[in-house]
Amino acid sequence: MGQFIAHTSRATDIVAYDNPYNVGMTGLLGIHSGFHMMSECDTLILLGADFAWGQFYPKHAKIIQIDRDAARLGRRHPITLGLQGDVIPTLEKLIPMLEERSEDQFLNECLEVSKKTQAILKAEEKIGDGKVIHPQYMAKLLSQYADEDALFTADTGTCWVWALRHIKVNGLRKFLMSLRHGTMANSMPMALGLKKAYPNRQVIALCGDGGLAMLMGDLLTINQEDLPIKIVVVNNGALDFVELEMKAEGLLNNYTDLHNPSFAKIAQAVGIKAFEVKNALELDGVMQEFLAHKGPALIDVYTNRSELVMPPSIDLGNVVGMATYSAKAILNGRIADVETLMANTLQSAKHEI
């Protein structure tokens, strides 16, 4: 019998990272192996998970939900059985009641899917031809050189995705994000609070350009309070998660363009050590120097605006939406945008293969 664990985005740094049967994150920000296990299982046990995305629940499985709050039982999706109680003592009572079985077909299937999914994620982290900086590559370097017990924050949007998919957890690293509320510009303020609470740990804020622009005054606070946090600006000139959502719905993106200043020069002007990277071939060395700096520091990374965030599964609605967007874009003279979208789609398809 195959017994697996998939986890929500909020549990990424909580569940056993080295569990060989952990097939990864599920949900809107998740990966394919987590989605596959959830959609194909015959019994799903929700352990303290108030999982909101109904489209990612299995359609035909028995669902058992365990939660200390009875009001949460069945409120997101119909369930077969709801049990009120703390997860650990409840499982301690239930596990002895399970019958041992030896079938491993589903186990092997899910492990193979997980292996392929991890290979795809690793392929996305490559430097590429160096012409553009892929945010996955940036996140990989951040993961590689950050402290073993670093604390990470990330702005709502694609910063979520790059952090949760490509920064490795190890039992010591922790994430703090606005995953429940989707608050914009949350990363830098969260980093300020974390550094005050944990002054001896490295605190890294992954900020979108739109998010940082909303609260640039906090740079003055960082300098004035001498808070040695590290700010990584994902500078792609767009509110890109909103832009992708609009395109997926078949809408032309409007009012998502950002005409950014040099965030590095602004940081320097207020007394913060700053770095600016536009060339992927330079990013590795600069990232190491940035993280090694003793005081507060900001790195302004000009990433690929057209990078696609591939969902854990692609349905007909996604395809129709993107096709509708492409038709409208061509009719409105945005041929170059469609060409870029198609090129990135083909590149992602190569990874899938």
pLDDT of residue 53: 79
Length in residues, the chain: 353
Higher-confidence residue of 120 and 325: namely 120
| Cβ proximity of 95 and 45 under 8 Å | no
> Scanning the structure block, which residue is given the tokens 């398809």?
349
pLDDT of residue 310: 60
pLDDT of residue 172: 96
Q: What are the structural domains, with CATH classification, of the chain?
A: 5-114 (3.40.50.1220), 125-302 (3.40.50.970)
Backbone angles phi, psi at 284, to 5 degrees: -60, -55
Least confident among 20-24, 36-40, 101-105, 321-325: 321-325
pLDDT tens readout for residues 130-177: 889 999 999 999 999 999 999 999 998 889 989 999 999 999 999 999
Cα–Cα–Cα angle for 232, 190, 155, rounded to 5 degrees: 50
Cα–Cα–Cα angle for 93, 96, 102, rounded to 5 degrees: 140
pLDDT of residue 17: 82
The residue type found at 289 is E
Say what the pTM is: 0.85
Q: Which long-range contacts (CB under 8 A, 24 or more apart) does 62-70 make?
A: 66/90, 66/91
Q: How far apart are CA 46 and CA 62, in angstroms?
A: 11
pLDDT tens readout for residues 92-101: 998 899 888 8
3-class DSSP assignment, residue 65: strand
Average pLDDT in the 229-234 region?
97
Question: Which whole-number Å values give the CA distances from 141 to 119, 138, 178, 287, 301, in the listed order?
Answer: 17, 5, 23, 7, 12
Least confident among 6-15, 267-276, 303-312: 303-312
